[in-house]
Homo-oligomer: A and B are copies of this chain.
Amino acid sequence: MLDYSEQANWENGFGQIQSPINLSTNDNQHLADYLPIHADEFYQLNTEIDDHTTIRLLGMGNASIFERPYHFQQVHFHAPAEHVIDGQVNPIEIHLVHENDVGQTVVVALFPQLGNANPDIQNIINNFEGNHDHSVSLKIHHQINDFQTGFHYLGSLTTPPLTEGVEWIVINNSNLTVSQSQVDWFIQKFGKNNRACQPINQRNIQYYHK
């Protein structure tokens, strides 16, 4: 099982473009545009998995990302959040993992703010069965709309094997909320499962903000 207290010892292959990273709305190259992503109004979730370090749900859905077709594959959660934006650590980070037909990966990261309970997350919590992967029929509704602002950069998976070449879209204007008790449920169940921020090195990060 993944031990976040030993994450400094996780092995990785090349190590120069790892995720997560610290992001800043001031320092990066600004593009006066919305992020070029468009997704189905919902993604259909069909399998819920106890990863022991998080909940992972497999599913189906379609998205256009930078004008190219991608398939939604799975969603999972990190609490607290992994990417740090303008020094702020959000309570939770949702990772929507997409892949295209030749195997390129795009992860869309969302940061619900503390507020009302999130109905999709509540369904996922209610359906959770520890140590038991099982079929579900859930949807995640309209998580990615057409007017998102945020960051685009090249990084890695945030859990082993920490594979690089992963394209990140980190959305910072999501209007999702999550309740404190939902966040507490994740941390009580799995412990804190956020990887520490990694060196940016020579990477160029683009900030889309219309």
The chain A residues found within 8 Å of chain B, CB to CB, are: 12-14, 17, 29, 66-68, 101-104, 152-154, 161, 163-167, 203-206
Q: Knowing A14-B13, A66-B67, A153-B102 touch, does A164 contact B164 (C-beta < 8 A)?
A: yes
A101 cross-chain contacts in B, Cβ below 8 A? 29, 204, 206
Which of B68, B154, B204 lies in contact with A66, CB distance below 8 A? Answer: B68
Name the residue on B nearest A12 (C-beta).
B13
Looking at chain A's contact residues, the main secondary structure is loop
Q: Are B102 and A205 in contact (CB under 8 A)?
A: yes
Q: Are A102 and B203 in contact (CB under 8 A)?
A: yes
**A117 smallest CB distance to B (angstroms):** 35
A13 cross-chain contacts in B, Cβ below 8 A? 12-14, 164
A102 cross-chain contacts in B, Cβ below 8 A? 152-154, 167, 203-206
A29 cross-chain contacts in B, Cβ below 8 A? 101
A14 cross-chain contacts in B, Cβ below 8 A? 13, 161, 163
**A72 smallest CB distance to B (angstroms):** 17
CA distance A29 to B102 in the complex (A): 10
A152 cross-chain contacts in B, Cβ below 8 A? 102
**A63 smallest CB distance to B (angstroms):** 15
CA distance A67 to B161 in the complex (A): 31
**A100 smallest CB distance to B (angstroms):** 9
**A127 smallest CB distance to B (angstroms):** 30
A161 cross-chain contacts in B, Cβ below 8 A? 14
Which of B67, B167, B203 lies in contact with A67, CB distance below 8 A? Answer: B67
**A51 smallest CB distance to B (angstroms):** 21
Name the residue on B nearest A101 (C-beta).
B204
Given contacts A66-B68, A103-B204, 20 further A-B contacts (CB under 8 A): A12-B13, A13-B14, A13-B164, A14-B161, A14-B163, A17-B103, A29-B101, A66-B67, A101-B204, A101-B206, A102-B152, A102-B154, A102-B167, A102-B204, A102-B205, A103-B154, A104-B167, A163-B164, A164-B164, A164-B165
